[in-house]
Amino acid sequence: MDKNTGFMKALKCRECGREYPLEATHVCEFDFGPLEVVYDYDRIKHSLTRAVIKSRPQSMWRYRELLPVAGEPTVGCQVGYTPLVKADRLAKRLGIRELWVKNDTVNYPTLSFKDRVVSVALSRARELGFSTVACASTGNLANSVAANAAAAGLKAYVFIPSDLEQGKVVNSLVYGAHVIGIRGHYDEVNRLCAEIAGKYGWAFVNVNMRPYYAEGSKSMGFEILEQLGWTVPQHTVVCMASGSLLTKIHKSYQEFMKLGIVAESRYKVHGAQATGCSPISTAQKAGLDFFKPVKPNTIAKSLAIGTPADGFYALKVMKETGGAAEDVTDDEVREGIKLLAETEGIFAETAGGVTVGVAKKLIASGHIPQDASAVLCITGNGLKTLDAIAGHVGQTREIKPSLREFEALLDKENKLINA
């Protein structure tokens, strides 16, 4: 194995197929197409088997041959292998035979699926000799870059829209990262970061490091396949911001089939957005191959990308697999959060409410048949978006520390229930 490339062969343009060296670069010089990591699958086939995977520690790095680092990972070695929960009570409420929740609300260390992509991006950034890392973020990415950079002794600059939830802001500041709030939408933050990345020699995880970074999302899919006993779920519902996660879930299923780790099978990948920022689901529902950019207005701020970088490819994956897309209002997002919490004891952030709400709609409309089995990708933790749900979950009832008062309260409640 080449110590500088590992199981990677090159970066390759998704549009024209031109190949590039494995450096910190992300667009094709000829047509501005996005670059993607190409692997040596013949070698991987000899190295990565079910037995080998099973013998390794329970983290996302048990699939390391399919993740774009040359040597052993040095950042986020304990990320991933989050629970896949059989959600019988939620299944009953949504009217489907079998339902699973892939629970990245408890990912390590910052409670979202972004720990996966950051672990890969920062490990690769170190291999390429960077000492400062950065990102353009809707919140969770900033949290994860800040935390993982701190633990790795890297300097971090994170750029966020200035109106993010308090929970997301504090969760970046506490690690000592340089947090820059931009007065504007994520798309403006992203545009600025592209300029900064060109000027400073920093590893921007989702700009110049994007080909490596994005691959980290595949680990969520690999885990789903392993945790389902090496089978491919009939339906997977994924929420979309840039659309990258959805495309990488699909890629992970394809790679495990290609390597013979799971049997060839048919599956559908469905996309979920908030109605207030739904460029991809709107295009999908209209049967279009291209989306129209929008100006976001939704409580699902982690998904509020009006010009999604991978929107085109996400539409392609849904078309190829026969998947559908839907979107839900802010009220439906809150209902989704509450439904998941009340049935399964999992407190997801707004993005999770989007996924649950959309799954409900897709089951009701028959896009996901009632006798099928489905996996919901729940990507972030509700403790970070308390602003979105506070005031919508009822109130505590206060009493004096007296048994009499408590009994009076119970009595009143029972009367209400029986009335």
Q: Which residues contact 199 (CB under 8 A, 6 or more apart)?
A: none
Contact of residue 380 among Zn ion, ligand PLP, none (CB under 5-8 Å per partner type): ligand PLP
- Least separation in angstroms between CB 206 and ligand PLP: 8
Beta strand spans in 245-304 (E): 268-274
Range 342-346, long-range pairs (CB < 8 A, 24+ positions): 343/87, 343/89, 343/90, 343/92, 343/93, 344/85, 344/87, 344/89, 344/90, 344/101, 346/85, 346/101, 346/103, 346/105, 346/378
Which of 2, 19, 31, 289 forms a contact with Zn ion (CB under 5 A)?
A: 31
Contact of residue 358 among ligand PLP, Zn ion, none (CB under 5-8 Å per partner type): none
174 is a site residue for Zn ion (CB under 5 A):
no
- Least separation in angstroms between CB 176 and ligand PLP: 21
Query: In this chain, which residue has its C-beta nearest to ligand PLP?
Result: 380
**Site stretch for Zn ion (CB under 5 A), options 24-32, 173-181, 220-228, 262-270:** 24-32
- Least separation in angstroms between CB 149 and ligand PLP: 17
Query: Which 71-110 residues touch Zn ion, going by CB under 5 A?
Result: none
Q: Given the rule CB under 6 A, which residues bind ligand PLP?
A: 112-114, 140, 239-245, 302-303, 349, 351, 379-380
15 is a site residue for Zn ion (CB under 5 A):
yes
Burial class (CB in 10 A: 0-12, 13-18, 19+), 412: exposed
- Least separation in angstroms between CB 253 and ligand PLP: 16
Contact of residue 13 among Zn ion, ligand PLP, none (CB under 5-8 Å per partner type): Zn ion
* Residues constituting the chain: 419
23 is a site residue for Zn ion (CB under 5 A):
no
Q: Which residues contact 129 (CB under 8 A, 6 or more apart)?
A: none
Torsion on CA atoms 271, 255, 29, 195, rounded to nearest 10 = 50
- Least separation in angstroms between CB 2 and ligand PLP: 29
Given a contact cutoff of 8 angstroms between Cβ atoms, the answer to whether 16 and 28 are in contact is yes
Contact positions vs Zn ion (CB under 5 A): 13, 15-16, 18, 28, 30-31, 33
